[in-house]
Amino acid sequence: MSEDVEGIVVRLLASLVLHGDATFKVPRNENKYRRVSYNNRRSRHRFCLVVYMLAKIHRLQVNGGSYTVRGLYYGDTQLIRTQLHISAARLDVCRMLNTSPTRLGVLSASKGLIAGNIRMLMTNGDVLDCSVYSGAITLPSNTEQVERIVTQADLVLVVEKESVFESLLARDVFNTFGRRFILLTGKGYPDCRTRRILHRLSVECHLPAYILVDADPFGIEIMLVYRLGSQSMSFTSGELATPTLRWIGLHPSEIPTLSIGAVALSSRDNKKIEDILARDHIGAGVRQELLSLRQIQQKAEIESVIDFLFTDYIPNKINRNLFL
């Protein structure tokens, strides 16, 4: 990657010497580009942050190690201004290098939690063994330093929210479910590390992966981020997405028959439904559930079925292949 960074800088210098043009071309979707130029007052700050980020990444590639977004921000608050600015510059560089933030070595605070039958062997010799802890552990800050994953689990279950994750642990699900499994959460919209670990569990460990989200448009979008990748980082979907992920519930079509607590959709919910329906590649089953949601105009949370999740709901869904 250091050679790629050097190539970008060499092309920039050549353009500056030959044409007086200090501009980066940041790829967008469908072979389109956005220009970030020092000559343009509106994008000058963004240009400076991209140069700053390229220098930091090159140093990492030569010397090793990693940075955090927070650490970079506090390293030069006058230049960077806000953490949102440095995060945006990181995304620009990811697009320019066609790679993910985890590959860059510039990391955000880890969100993901994991528990169950899993050991992660790190490149520095450390072992993160969930069986040693009474509860969950936070995913390592750099998942690329996970050299190998060891597990005897039969499946992975992803849950949307930390509250459901903690509730399941409190109910001793590992001893009551009857199958060995790994429990994972990204605490809402997942970060790259959580998505990367799920991808590796699916590809390297050949584990079937299931996801449980709220029966609302934002839960469905979270499921799609795990399965297909995020809209803003679709160029990295190969190593962050898990296309085989099985949506086990809650399905909006179940709301009328489950006799669970439901509330009315908001205008924001309806706008999100239309936004997702306008996308390509979401799948016929997902599209039908979105249409059901729009029709019944109600949504429900996972907590409404928490009492019989592992005694009935999840085993029934898995055994009868009732997933999308």
For residue 284, give Cα distances in angstroms to 24, 46, 118, 129. 39, 40, 34, 39
The DSSP code for 310 is: I
The DSSP result for 240-271, as a single string, is: H--TT-EEEE--GGGHHHHT---EEPPHHHHH
Radius of gyration of the chain (CA): 22
Among the options 74, 133, 189, 226, which is catalytic?
A: 74
For residue 305, give Cα distances in angstroms to 87, 167, 210, 290, 293. 37, 12, 17, 20, 18
Residue 241's nearest CA partner among 275, 191, 199, 278 is 199
The DSSP code for 311 is: I
Residue 286's nearest CA partner among 231, 242, 220, 228 is 220
For the question of residue 313 being annotated catalytic, the response is no
Query: Residue 141 carries which side chain, given as an amino acid letter?
Result: S
How far apart CA 280 and CA 295 sit, in angstroms, is: 21
How far apart CA 97 and CA 27 sit, in angstroms, is: 9
Question: So which residues are the catalytic ones?
Answer: 74
